Amino acid sequence: MSVRVRFAPSPTGYLHVGGLRTALYNYLFAKHNNGKCILRIEDTDRTRFVENAQENLITSLRWAGIEFDESPEIGGEYGPYVQSERFDLYKKYGLQLIENGTAYYAFDTSEELNAMRERQQKAGIAPKYDRTVMRNEFTLGKDEAKRLVENGTPYVVRLKVPLTENIRFTDLIRGDVIVNGRDIDDQILLKSDGFPTYHLANVVDDHLMAITHVIRGEEWLPSTPKHVILYNAFGWECPTFAHLPLLLNKDKSKLSKRQGSVAVEDFKEQGYFKESFVNFVALLGWNPTSDREIFSMDELIEHFNLEKVNKSGAVFDIQKLEWMNSQYLKMLPLDYMAELLEPELKKYNFNNVNRDYLIKVINLLKERITFLKQVPVFGNYMFEKPANFEQEYLQKHWKDNTPEIIKPLVEQLNVVANWKHDDLYEATKKYVEANGLKLKDVIHPLRLMITGKSVGAGMFETMEILGKEECMERINSFLANYK
């Protein structure tokens, strides 16, 4: 049987980093096994509807390089892939459970339920639906329940948990998990608005969509026994479960908005490459080997092994993410980066920048920055004449006698045959040696005149790329203004 997995997010309006990792692991697992990866939208909570959420989700997943074999967009033979479009299905299956005695009608109001929980809390016991005292099929009688339902009384359908059984399942990552039936709540399956809860919809869909492996976050582990009971109640075979370790804040709590960015869209906005972001996220909770950090998507697919996923949660460490981004900045194709950078340049009004020129600039600066978008900031002087000059740098390196030293050098540079960095370097070195100076005595003034800044890329490389004409203009302009 071939592998079929699904990523089943609820449309919240953004893609959580944890969600991305879950999607990624599903994708990697499917691709590694030549299986299918399915996207299913779980929108059974009508109170949480968010406009365009589904589109945003798909856009972000696509940005990350995760493509689905079946989805609301693409379709597939197991559709529809949006739960709100499968409405009738869930009711049918919920009622089927009532028929076979594994679920029951209940009529309690939320006030009554709250009161029950309060009583239980006061008594010091865990809150849990007490089917022996609340208003349901057991206390009211089957006939009365049926009459109420037919009368149009609001009702829910609850799972009748087998109280005396031990529920057991095997998790691919955690091994055997056993839970006593008496600790499991009689979960609502169908809400009074007729929509299913996650538990019912999830199990029904996973079965109907022939899902073989349920790969999801660890937060689902405590409710998995309910799902197992449901599979048993339907007489369906359980898929294999794999619960991924949580992504954590610095303080080790579940990764949350409160303590920084958690939306994939935010990281994209901050300038992370999808390549480095995916690489980084993939390695949170799993590692194919110990002597390598950089993996392309194809390599991740090649090495992925669900059984080697860690059990313990992983802190999301921005510092390492930044490092990884800087690594990608050094190795990603230059024309690819130039394309990404072009829209960013327009924000600074650096318009009509020649593509070949931009490539040279990126290549020049990429060793010194972490984000591609730093190019126009760190290296603004590659796109415009310096408007001002760093005062501190000016005072430190522009002495009274500097013009006397610099002017002859400029004349010599002016006659260098090839405006190439090594020729410029040689000429400067020759001049410096002939006059008993040191390289830095002239490089700092040059840097100042040409870039206006104390920090930048190699001076002669910078000059080469800027070109002779531009450099001379800047130098002459500076010399004319600062005597």
Q: Which of residues 284-343 bind RNA (CB under 7 A)?
A: 284-287, 289-291, 293, 308, 310-315, 317, 319-320, 322-323, 326-327, 330
175 binds RNA (CB under 7 A): yes
Binding mask 90-109 for RNA (x = CB under 7 A): ------------------xx
| Window 212-271: residues binding RNA (CB under 7 A) | 218-223, 245-246, 248, 251-254
Contact 202, 239 (CB under 8 A): no
Q: What are phi and psi of 468, to 5 degrees?
A: -60, -45
Structure tokens at 128: 């849990």
Residue from the set 70, 275, 461, 464 that interacts with RNA by CB under 7 A: 461
> With helix as H, strand as E and coil as C, how does 460-473 read?
HHHHHHHCHHHHHH
Which DSSP letter does residue 250 get? T
Query: Residue 34 CB: number of other CB atoms within 10 A?
Result: 8
Residue 219 or 335: which CB sits closer to RNA? 219
Reduced to 3 states (helix: H, G, I; strand: E, B; else coil), residue 6 is strand
Alpha-carbon dihedral angle through residues 306, 310, 314, 319, given to the nearest 10 degrees: -80
Residue in the block written with tokens 């390549």: 275
d(CA 241, CA 118): 34
Contact 32, 64 (CB under 8 A): no
465 binds RNA (CB under 7 A): no
Selection from 279, 378, 268, 382 nearest residue 327 by Cα: 279
Selection from 244, 326, 242 nearest residue 280 by Cα: 326
Q: Is the dihedral of CA 97, 103, 104, 106 positive or negative?
A: negative
| Closest CB 109 distance from RNA, rounded Å | 6
| Window 112-131: residues binding RNA (CB under 7 A) | 113, 117, 124, 126-128
Q: What are phi and psi of 402, to 5 degrees?
A: -60, -45
Contact 299, 258 (CB under 8 A): no
Q: What are phi and psi of 263, to 5 degrees?
A: -90, 130
In terms of DSSP H, where are the helices of 8-136?
Answer: 17-32, 53-63, 87-99, 110-122
| Window 379-408: residues binding RNA (CB under 7 A) | none
Residue 340 or 443: which CB sits closer to RNA? 443
Is 226 one of the catalytic residues? no
Residue in the block written with tokens 């194709």: 333
| Closest CB 127 distance from RNA, rounded Å | 4
Residue in the block written with tokens 């309006």: 13
Binding mask 29-68 for RNA (x = CB under 7 A): -------------x-xx-xx--------------------
Peptide bond into 80 cis (omega under 30): yes
Which DSSP letter does residue 146 get? H
Residue in the block written with tokens 């007489």: 235
Residue from the set 33, 84, 139, 192 that interacts with RNA by CB under 7 A: 192
d(CA 413, CA 161): 87
Residue 45 or 266: which CB sits closer to RNA? 45
Residue in the block written with tokens 């010399």: 479
154 binds RNA (CB under 7 A): yes
DSSP class per residue in 400-455: TTHHHHHHHHHHHHHT-SS--HHHHHHHHHHHHHHTT--HHHHHHHHHHHHHSSS-
Reduced to 3 states (helix: H, G, I; strand: E, B; else coil), residue 167 is strand
Which DSSP letter does residue 74 get? T
Q: Which of 257, 308, 399, 430 is catalytic?
A: 257
**Catalytic site positions:** 257
